[in-house]
Amino acid sequence: MDAAAVSFDSGDNPSSRLRHDWTRSETETLYNLPFPDLIFRAQTVHRCNFDPNQVETASLLSIKTGGCPEDCGYCAQSAHYDAGVKATKLMDHEAVIETARRAKDAGASRFCMAAAWRNPKERDLDRVCDMVSAVKELGLETCATLGMLTPDQARRLHAAGLDFYNHNVDTSPEFYGKIITTRTMQDRIDTLAHAREAGLKVCCGGIIGMGEQVGDRLGMLMLLANLPAHPESVPINMWNEVKAVPVNDTAARPDPIALVRMIAVARIMMPKSVVRLSAGRQYMTDELQALCFLAGANSIFIGDVLLTTKNPQTARDAALLDRLGIRSPLDDAKAAVPPH
C-alpha cells in the first residue's frame, strides 16, 4: 500500500482524528515507513495532542504479591511456576497509604495498586476501595490492576475514587493462546468493557519480547486502536526476565529500532492516548529511551522496582529527563537531581 494513502490525517484537526477501523495493511504500511518519515508523522501527531516536552510519572505497588492462579507464561507471580517470589497477603491499609505518600514525594503523579488475583473477592474489594479513597485524598491519580472485574465491582471502584483500571490484552489474539490458557482474550475484553461502562479510564497494553512476531505486536496495536474507545493509557512493556517461567523458552529481546517503530505506530493510531514505556527500561540505553520519547512515548514508571522486577533508579531517570529537557513531576520532587 502507498504510505500516502494511509489516512491518519484527514478531518478537522489532521493529526487528532480518532479512528477505530485500522486495517492490517495500513498498520504494516505505517510500521514499514522509512524511519525518518515514521518519526516525523509520530511527532506531528504527538505535538497536536500533547506537550512534546513533558512525560507523566506513575508509581507501582504490589499490594498482594504471588500465588496467582492464572498461568500467564511471563509472570513471576503465577502459582504455576517457581520464580522464587514469596506469596503474601493483601497489604495493610496504612502501609499502602504510607507508600503512596512516599511515591508522591518522590515525584509520582499516579499511584497504581496491583494485586496478583484472577479476580478480587468481595471482602478484598472493600479493602482496596478504602485504599483507593485514601490514596486519592493524597492528591494522586489512582490506578488499580486486580484481574477480572464484574460490572458491579467496577462501579464500586469508581465510586471509591478510582481514576484508571489497568488490564492488559498482553499480545495479539493469535499469539495469546501460547502465553495464557486460564483466561481468554474475550474475558479481558469483557473486563475492559465493565471498567469503561462504570466510568473508569482504561489503561491497557501488553508485552513484547516473548517470542512474538512483529505481526503480533501490530495485531495487538490494531486490537487496542479498534476498541470502541482508545485506552487513555497504553503501557508497552518489554518482557522483564523472570526465572523458571515458560516464556524463557521463546523470549527474544526486540531489536531496539523495532521498539521505537512500535511506539511511533501506537502514537499515530491512538493520537490522544498516553503511551507508557513500561517494564523493560532496565535493559534500555538512555539513547533508546530518548528515541522512544521522540516517537511519542510520554509516560514512565518510576521507582527502583516494578512489582517483582527491577526498574531504573529514579536518579537515573531524573538525570535522563533533565539532559533531554523533558519536564515531569520529578522536577517538583523532594529528591534532588544530580548535576550532569
Q: Which residues bind ligand SAM (CB under 6 A)?
A: 74-75, 114, 116-117, 145, 147, 167-168, 170, 206-207, 237, 239-240, 242, 279, 307, 309
**Is there binding between residue 150 and ligand DTB (CB under 6 A)?**
no
3-class SS of residue 147: coil
Please tell me whether residue 147 binds ligand SF4 under the rule CB under 6 A.
Answer: yes
Site membership for ligand SF4, residue 144 (CB under 6 A): no
Q: Is 277 helix (H, G, I), strand (E, B) or coil?
A: strand
Q: Helix, strand, coil: what percent of the chain each, to 5?
A: 40, 15, 45
| The one catalytic residue among 41, 110, 143, 183 | 143
Catalytic one among 41, 110, 112, 204?
112
Show the site string, 65-104: x = touches ligand SF4 by CB under 6 A, - = not. ---x-x-x--x-xx--------------------------
27, 49, 240, 298: residue in contact with ligand DTB (rule CB under 6 A)? 240
Cβ-based neighbours of 41, under 8 Å, separated by 6 or more: 8, 30, 33, 264, 268
The active-site residue, picked from 110, 127, 188, 276, is: 276
Q: 72 catalytic, yes or no?
A: yes
CB atoms within 10 A of CB 95: 12
- Residue 129 annotated to the active site: no
Tell me how far apart the alpha carbons of residues 233 and 230 are, in angstroms, rounded to a whole number.
Answer: 8
CB of 146 vs ligand SAM, minimal distance in Å: 6
Exposed / middle / buried, residue 135 (Cβ in 10 Å: 0-12, 13-18, 19+): buried
Q: Are 171 and 207 in contact (CB under 8 A)?
A: yes
Q: Which of residues 100-129 bind ligand DTB (CB under 6 A)?
A: 112, 114
- Catalytic site residues? 68, 72, 75, 112, 143, 203, 276
